[in-house]
Structure 1
């Protein structure tokens, strides 16, 4: 939609008026003559209909955006990076709230980037439809950031970070978008993702004080209880919290015309071997990349498709009909499981536990292995990974050893993060591995001479084991009709229709049973 089309509709005109009103109220710019040697950046209007989890339009939003692609690094801007919360951190907070029966609240900062103060001199053209009469030749000098500028995210983050620290929040050193405020036995946890923030804790009074202070400092929207966050549907109940992406899954199926497809029971055929040089005609790379990207975001609440999505994502540069068929099989699996999600509830054993697994030389092109791990705290998983290893291993022992090292590194980070959240893991974190030789290599010095050729960065696991930070334990793996399963009581995926035990495996798709 262009400006002329939008200007003819009342809903979009009101949205544009609100945007200009917010900008002026925030004293974002001032009208000046363009100094010599400077160039004004063009701007444009961007329109979006904001929808809820049901797909209904909640409000129309018009955003004035600077064409930041014309800015030059080192001249128009310096630093641009701004941290956002990891989704695994969001899931951890959900798990923590469910365990303690806390409620999670959500707020949104209106025109967040307009609050960031700029250090550089930036000039923009006057927005279309809102030029000052008689002074059309003048430009606008920005005093605060505007959407689209390269430095806008950084400026906003610096502004909100300073505010939180001035209010006696402690920024987590292991997650820079997580802020914690402790007063006696009370705690307030705030998680920030650009302009969307969620917060929880054990004292409702601190919630109200936090809301009042934030509303006083910024123009805020109080959304209430967290119900729809970053495309994730959240159902907060008395006995737990369910997160799903059912609406998004249906949108993906519709987008790729698979909403009428026949469902299948697994996301990938057992034993399938894909290759870059496989059979089949070349397909549109843009379509394939769009499909894989959509599936990748669905893994935020669906670890059961993680491995399959990881495999097809290796062929985005030159996809063929064979690769497209494998990707569409994932969609057929999603068709029959759109209501699957993760249910976080109260657990009697609320400690960090990890599982590590690997295949050996599973990639048909470079013979590299795939590392996978999953971590639970309580009954439900909150973080997982499936990724091809950067090196070629010479045995299953080495492949499992490298995978376990990746798992241990993540465990150390999680232990530090949990300590900041007042959940210190006093005992060593148990990590289950299904290879006795890999465990022995991590524990017993006798085995060290046999692994000199392994990159030194993967021997970090030995130090963690000797320091008693983690404890590797053996877990039995059995085959059942060609599908890998694990004999363990840990690992539960609960939906509205039932409870399923599962474990993430590297050589086949994660399995629910």
Structure 2
């Protein structure tokens, strides 16, 4: 990632992932110079405004920009055979306390890790599942049936909310607001506390 700032506090950003490149910012002159410089060294194709990148969909409106992973969610549901499942209103049972059961039945470790890995990537635009994903990820080393059921609960929640994402509002202040809190020895396994953070930036919350 490369940043260039102008004297009047504008910025151009160059992001490279393998052979995919994003050129963005509010420094229009520098953005055009970057494109010309790249074109002079490499064979490139300008695809216009970004709509899809690494599983993330970008939608623009008069209100701002929405980043979501709707197709990613639908593909995940299809791959796991959950496309026809009954949606859940919440990603986690608030009364359930996950733990390692002494005689709990083990499940396929590789499959569990792949599912949770996909959910971790999805949580980049879905802060509503971030907490429960962090919970189920604690059992990657030795997953049991109860842990897999919790993952399925997340998938059922996603079934009913595939298009949710982050909304960055136009003309909002660019300052970052941060809120934090913690429970008190909430873990039934080791009595550790769990901290929570909430960030607000140009209208988006995660």
- TM value normalised by structure 1: 0.38
Question: What is the alpha-carbon distance in structure 2 between the residues aligned to residue 352 and residue 316 of structure 1?
Answer: 33
Residue pairs, 1:468-483, within 5 angstroms: none
Does the 8 Å CA contact 1:262/1:332 hold for their aligned counterparts? yes
Deviations 1:236-295 (A, max 9, x none): 223311111000001111111111110011000012111112664211111111111111
Q: 1:290 aligns with which of 91, 114, 130?
A: 114
Q: 1:197 to 1:307 in 2, by over 3 A?
A: same
Conserved? CA contact 2:65–2:167, under 8 Å: yes
Q: 2:28 maps to which residue? A: 204
Deviation at 1:231, TM superposition (A): 1.1
1:306: how far off?
Answer: 0.5
Q: 1:260 to 1:185 in 2, by over 3 A?
A: closer
In the other structure, the counterpart of 1:325 is 149
Find the residue that maps to 2:47 and give its secondary structure. Answer: strand
Structure 2: gaps of 5 or more residues: none
Q: 1:240 aligns with which of 47, 58, 64?
A: 64
Q: 1:201 to 1:326 in 2, by over 3 A?
A: closer
CA contact (8 A) 2:3 2:11 kept: no
Cα distance change on mapping 1:187 and 1:342 into 2, 3 Å: closer
Gaps of 5+ in 1: 1-176, 385-513
Q: 1:352 to 1:280 in 2, by over 3 A?
A: same
Query: Which residue in 2 is equivalent to 1:372?
Result: 196
- Judged with a 3 Å threshold, the aligned counterparts in structure 2 of structure 1 residues 367 and 291 are, in CA distance, closer, same or farther, namely same
Residue 182 of structure 2 is matched in structure 1 by 358
Query: Is contact 1:347–1:379 with CA below 8 Å preserved after alignment?
Result: no
Give matches, 1:346-495, under 5 Å.
346-381=170-205, 384=206
Asked if 1:272 is matched to 2:128, the reply is: no
2:130 corresponds to 1:306: yes
Post-superposition Cα deviations, 1:309-348, rounded to whole Å, max 9, x if no partner, equal 1111111121111111111000000000001111111255
Distance (Å, rounded) in 2 between the aligned partners of 1:355 and 1:186: 28
Provide the C-alpha distance between the structure 2 equivalents of 1:202 and 1:352, rounded to a whole number of angstroms.
Answer: 19
Alignment match, 1:338 = 162
Offset, 1:219: 2.6
| 1:182–1:287 CA distance, 2 compared to 1 (3 A) | same
How many Å apart are 1:365 and its aligned residue? 2.0
CA distance in structure 2 between the partners assigned to 1:268 and 1:235 by the alignment = 28
- Where does structure 1 differ by over 6 angstroms across 4 or more consecutive aligned residues? none
Paired residues, number: 206
**Alignment pair present for 1:215 and 2:27:** no
- TM-superposed CA distance for 1:200, in Å, is 2.4
Query: Relative contact order (C-alpha < 8 Å, sep 6+): which is higher?
Result: 2
Identify the match of residue 252 of structure 1 among 64, 76, 86. Answer: 76
Indicate how the Cα distance of structure 1 residues 302 and 236 shifts in structure 2: closer, same or farther if over 3 A, else same.
same
Higher Cα Rg, which structure: 1
CA RMSD after TM alignment = 2.0
CA change 1:245–1:186 in 2 (3 A) is closer
* Cα pair distance change 1:216/1:181, threshold 3 Å: farther
The CA distance in 1 between the partners of 2:84 and 2:97, in whole Å, is 27
